[in-house]
Chains A and B, each alone.
Chain A
Amino acid sequence: MAKSFLWGGDGHSQTWNHVNWNMVTTPKRFGGLGICEVRLTNLALLGELVWNMLHNKDKLWVKVLPINTWATRLYG
Chain B
Amino acid sequence: MNKKHNKPSITWRGIQHAITNFAVGYSFRVGFSDSSIWNIDWTQLGPLCQLVPFVNISDSAMCLKDVWEDGMWNLQGLATMIPTDIVQYIHQLPVTNNLDVRLTDAWTWRHAKKGEYTCSSGYYWLLQQNRDWNMICNMNWLWRLKVPSKLQHFLWICFHNALPINARQHHCNMVASPSCTRCSSPIEDILQRLRDCPHSRELWLRLNMRRYNNFFFEFDVNVWLHEMTKGTSAIFFITGVWYA
A residues in contact (CB < 8 Å) with B: 16, 18-19, 22-23, 25-33, 36-37, 40-51, 53-55, 57, 67-71, 73-75
The interface residues of chain A lying within 8 Å CB-to-CB of B46 are 67-68
Once bound together, how far apart are the Cα atoms of A33 and B95, in whole Å? Answer: 37
| Contact-residue bracket for chain B | 35 or more
Chain A CB within 8 A of B81 CB? no
Let me know if A18 and B18 touch, CB within 8 A. no
Q: How far is the CA of A27 from the CA of B123 in the complex (A)?
A: 11
Label chain A's interface by main secondary structure.
Answer: helix
A53 to B14 CA separation, bound complex (whole angstroms): 14
Task: Give complex CA distance A54, B124 in Å.
Answer: 21
Q: Given contacts A25-B127, A30-B139, A75-B92, is CB(A48)–CB(B26) below 8 Å?
A: no
> Which residue among A36, A40, A45, A69 has the maximum number of chain B CB atoms within 10 Å of its CB?
A40
CB distance from B71 to the nearest CB of A (A): 20
Asked whether B134 lies within 8 Å of A31 as measured between CB atoms, the reply is yes
Roughly how many angstroms separate A36 CA and B127 CA in the complex, as a whole number? 10
Task: Report the bound CA distance from A12 to B119 in whole Å.
Answer: 33
Enumerate chain B residues within 8 angstroms of A45, measured Cβ to Cβ.
119
* A48 and B122 contact, Cβ closer than 8 Å, known pairs A22-B131, A43-B17, A55-B107: yes
Contact of B159 (CB < 8 Å), options: A22, A31, A48, A75 = A31
Tell me the chain B residues, 48-62 only, with Cβ under 8 Å from chain A.
none
Given B43, B127, B157, B164, which contacts A37 in the complex, CB threshold below 8 Å? B127
- Asked if B101 lies at the interface with its beta carbon under 8 angstroms from chain A, I say no
A23 closest partner in B (C-beta): B160
Q: Complex Cα distance A43/B25, Å?
A: 14
